[in-house]
Chains A and B, each alone.
Chain A
Amino acid sequence: MIWLRLARNVRLGVKTLLLHKLRSMLTMLGVVFGVSSVVAMLAVGEGASREALERIRMLGSNNIIIESTKAAEDQNAGNRRINIYGLTYDDADRIDQSFARVTNVVPVKSLKREGRLGRRTAELRVMGTTPGWFELVPRPLVAGRRLVDADVESLSSSLVLTEHGARKLLATEETIGNTVTIAGSIYEVIGIVEAASAGSVETPDEQEDAYIPISTARQRFGDLNVTRSSGSFLREQVELHSILVRVDGDDAVEGTASGIRTMLERFHKVQDYNIAVPLALLQEAKRTRDRWNIVLGSIAGISLLVGGIGIMNIMLASVTERTREIGIRRAIGAKKIQIISQFLIETVVLSVIGGIVGIALGFAIPWAVTRFAGMPTEITAWSIALAAGISVGVGVIFGLYPAARAANLDPIEALRHE
């Protein structure tokens, strides 16, 4: 019964609004633009941050990445003949044994070397690692297979290229089984995996990676690395260039990371390592996204405010214009609350229709942005719900004052109004 009555009131409201089609339409425009900018801005913001979050996720949110670095106070240890620093095999073993929630520890030796396939050469980052790498840095397999435990145990000469590296060497699927020469040693290409996407976030893998068993890498390259730089030889001894650690849940990331930090502090005299926690980056990125959403949302909110004021303005004019009608209705016996609901329904109808058009436009704008500007956009359900809620809210809030003013008119004065 109450719904029937409401439906009837809404129908009457629509009818009244249709009496002034142009005016109603112009009034609605404010809400249309407000709502569409809310939806569109949130979609653009969401799309941009989604992309950033996706990149961070590629780091693995349950991973902890420890990298060897030259200790700050040891940077210019030129008087020493060999510069020894960084993570060790012992570190990797200790981490593996000490933390209950660590599921996987992947040691990595990383060396820049030139690889040659047939007559093509390319600078590769040779990564001596274990099969665990491919679990912690999951990349789809393009062809062949990944490293397995047997490769490590047998010190095999297996080599997994990235798609990008393969392209540089002009390697194709048919290349699998062929040999690549690196630093005088021969390796058999057993597989190709997809490369990390080039982006601002540093993933553990790079585009020109070539993966070989860590045991093979240790045997063939040793731990001493000699590079020539500006006329002199630079001797560095580094056992492991990085250690990737995976824990069994988001909640264990921080505790384990600080545990590892404490442990490494005990065994390293200087800080010649760096611990990175992708989850922290992820949280930071989420905070950034929230901040952006607030900024963009506020801008959209201001345009909605302007739209709402437009509605209020027109409704106030309408109340003045219809003073006599209000007087008539009051004389007939309409209660204040009925006058309020009449005007409120009109504003809510206006703002809701404006909201619907605005949401439609809010879908169109991000589509156009993606289509023509190539930016990723993402329309979320909550932004639609927000826009819908806001449009009703605008109608109620900005309709309330004009409606109350109409209801509080003195019926006798109102009837006399010309």
Chain B
Amino acid sequence: MTLQPVENELIRLDNVRKDYVIGDQAVHALDGVTLSLAAGTFTAIMGSSGSGKSTMLNVLGCLDRPTSGSYTLDDDAVSELSDEDLSEIRLQKLGFVFQSFHLVPQLTVRENIELPLYYQGVDREASAKRAETLAERVGLGERLDHRPNELSGGQQQRVAIARALANTPRLLLADEPTGNLDTATTQQIMEILTDLNSQGATIVMVTHEPDIAKYCPTHLHMRDGIVQRYSGPGLRVQGLDPEDLDERFAPASVATAGGSS
């Protein structure tokens, strides 16, 4: 029994498992997930800690390989790839935004944004131009030569977003991107992400805050390594029917906020 793919499929998981051994106990961080996710979606992965949502993000982000099952990203069977090829996929197709920003402290804003381009071997002139465009886009055009420790948390996260976009990724992965930010800054960051999504970017975000998740049209709830329920467009999960959008997560408030950043 195979899952019917969604239209315009970008991500395909087939019975993906990820087991860890902690002490003498096997932990099933992912316990057989089969799903299909369309390009252009903005998905929130939710769940309590230990539900497997971080493992899910690591697998989707090609940082971790599933113990079994297959993962196809943009028609590449990435679960089959070597470490080096996975690096190449991350370099060409993925962008990461982390909770604690993860900028390289000794590099300037410009150099941080240029980092993926540096590894891609883009020449310096094109790379510099791209960094400037991206910095403008996240509203940090004036701060290109600052170092991360001279910036506020919100500014650092915007640099991180600019860096994640430098390679024009097929998929943007965000791990609690607003976890370390105050409410006002959180809103700024979420507006940027919503805006990016409205321009066609596919975003998968892990969060445990319903307030944040409500910016996302598509939701996926995890528990004990399996998808418990899901809702929204562009997602199909094996053995589950989509639920109606929870009242609490209705992206109505976002619709007006979006596009204004």
Q: Which residues of A line the B interface, CB within 8 A?
A: 5, 8, 15-16, 19, 324-325, 327-338, 411-412, 415
Contacts and interface: CB of A to CB of B under 8 A. Distances in A.
B122 to A, nearest CB: 11
A324 B107 CA distance: 14
Given A411-B63, A412-B64, A333 B88 contact: yes
Interface string B59-83: 0010110000000000000000001
Contact of A332 (B106, B119, B124): B119
B115 A332 contact: yes
A330 B62 CA distance: 11
Given A15-B106, A325-B105, A332 B84 contact: no
B65 to A, nearest CB: 11
Contacts of B90: 331-333
B191 to A, nearest CB: 24
Interface in B67-125: 83-84, 87-92, 94, 96, 98, 102-106, 115-116, 119-121, 124
B88 to A, nearest CB: 7
Contacts of A325: 104-105
A287 to B, nearest CB: 52
B93 to A, nearest CB: 9
A332 B96 contact: yes
B58 A335 contact: no
A15 B103 CA distance: 17
Nearest to B167: A333
A331 B116 CA distance: 10
Contacts of A331: 61, 63, 90, 96, 102
Contacts, number: 58
Interface majority SS (helix, strand, loop, mixed), chain A? helix
Nearest to B173: A331
16 contacts: A8-B124, A16-B106, A324-B102, A329-B119, A331-B61, A331-B90, A332-B90, A332-B115, A332-B116, A332-B119, A333-B87, A333-B90, A333-B116, A335-B84, A335-B119, A336-B83
Given A19-B106, A335-B88, A415 B98 contact: yes
A337 B82 CA distance: 14
Interface of B: 58, 61, 63-64, 83-84, 87-92, 94, 96, 98, 102-106, 115-116, 119-121, 124, 163, 167
A329 B64 contact: no
Contacts of B163: 332
Given A325-B104, A333-B94, 4 more contacts: A8-B124, A327-B102, A331-B102, A334-B119
Contacts of B167: 333
- From A16, A325, A411, residue with most partner B Cβ within 10 Å: A411
Nearest to A408: B83
A8 B115 CA distance: 13
A130 to B, nearest CB: 80
A412 B89 CA distance: 16
Contacts of A330: 63, 87
Contacts of B89: 333
Nearest to A18: B106
Nearest to A326: B104
B105 A335 contact: no
Contacts of A338: 119
B100 to A, nearest CB: 9
Nearest to B106: A19
B105 A336 contact: no
Contacts of A16: 106
Contacts of B121: 5
Contact of B92 (A333, A334, A412): A333
A338 B92 CA distance: 16
Contacts of B87: 330, 333-336
Nearest to B163: A332
B112 to A, nearest CB: 9
